[in-house]
Amino acid sequence: MTVTAEPAAQVDRWVSAQGISLEVRGAGDPVLLLHGIGGSAAACGALAEVLSSHGYRTYCWDAPGYGRSADPAPSSDGSTERCDHGVVVADLIAELGAEPIHLLGTSWGGVIATAVAAANPAAVRSLVLADSTRGSGVNQQRAQGMRARIGELRELGGPAFAAARAGRLVSTACDAGIARAVESDMARVRLPGYAAAAEFMARTDTGPSLAAVAAPTLVLVGADDIVTGVDESRLLADAIPGARFGLILDAGHAAVQEKPVETAAHILRFWKELGE
């Protein structure tokens, strides 16, 4: 399948009853794209452009506390760091009236997407996980490391935090402009959103629920991903029944930004094989 980047589609904005902002493109079967922990709707924009140009209606969310979305609502104990993003996404899909939906998550967004697919099988038409993981709750060391990032962001501020971390997200062959965009996106993260995301990751291990994922699944990973890595993506693909696996060459952890056309080619081929 030959996939090309088409002229930019019109981007509309839709806001849910809970203050979740979505960038909306195109028309056709619905696709919800969930960004990574250091991103925003913009991180999925180039991929959404390609998918929408091939007949899909794409929704790129700003997670709670990211981009144009409202900060996470306090939990019953008053904490804003305990947000069940899986429930937020399931409610969002229902509010959109988009069930069943093609659900695509990158990195942290993939952890959320996995949780949604396992808990709400009727709501998910297909699942795409890009450079994702089971979550940081797989062991105490990873959970502590994830929670430590909250204090790091609080101490350094967004720009310095991004300068220290963003370079690891892309391959050595990454276009300089894209690398700057990845860092710029991370530099704009807000502490309430990031803290809730990091806490979600720290307490989440989707490993036990992977076998329960019923949606047709495609697992993608940048061949040069040094953050979550190829082995973790292979583990996901092996554990989810019938899942397909694909490598994005010359791309790192931010493969959906580095190689949106190549990523879209994998996804569109997958959907075509499903008869979608």
Categorize the per-residue pLDDT at 78 as very low, low, confident or very high, splitting at 50, 70 and 90: low
**Residue 111 to residue 193: CA distance in whole angstroms:** 16
Residue-averaged pLDDT of the chain: 94
- 3-state SS of the chain is CCCCCCCCCCCEEEECCCCCEEEEECCCEEEEEECCCCCCHHHHHHHHHHHHHCCEEEEEECCCCCCCCCCCCCCCCCCCCCCCHHHHHHHHHHHHCCCCEEEEEECHHHHHHHHHHHHCHHHEEEEEEECCCCCHHHCHHHHHHHHHHHHHHHHHCHHHHHHHHHHHHCCCCCCHHHHHHHHHHHHCCCHHHHHHHHHHHHCCCCHHHHHHCCCCEEEEEECCCCCCHHHHHHHHHHHCCCCEEEEECCCCCCHHHHCHHHHHHHHHHHHHHCCC
184-239 residue pLDDT tens: 999 999 999 999 999 999 999 999 999 999 999 999 999 999 999 999 999 999 99
Give percent of the chain above pLDDT 70. 93
- 64-78, 151-165, 180-194, 206-220: which has the minimum mean pLDDT? 64-78
pLDDT surpassing 90 at residue 2: no
239-252 residue pLDDT tens: 999 999 999 999 99
**Residue 150 to residue 243: CA distance in whole angstroms:** 33
Given a contact cutoff of 8 angstroms between Cβ atoms, the answer to whether 174 and 257 are in contact is no
Nearest CA to 214 out of 131, 109, 105, 103 is that of 103
pLDDT at position 1: 54
pLDDT at position 83: 87
Given a contact cutoff of 8 angstroms between Cβ atoms, the answer to whether 51 and 75 are in contact is no
221-233 residue pLDDT tens: 999 999 999 999 9
Domain boundaries, the chain: 12-273
Nearest CA to 219 out of 193, 245, 197 is that of 245
28-39 residue pLDDT tens: 999 999 999 999
Average pLDDT of the residues in 55-63:
97
Which CATH superfamily groups domain 12-273? Alpha/Beta hydrolase fold, catalytic domain (3.40.50.1820)
pLDDT surpassing 60 at residue 11: yes
Categorize the per-residue pLDDT at 8 as very low, low, confident or very high, splitting at 50, 70 and 90: low
Average pLDDT of the residues in 53-79:
87
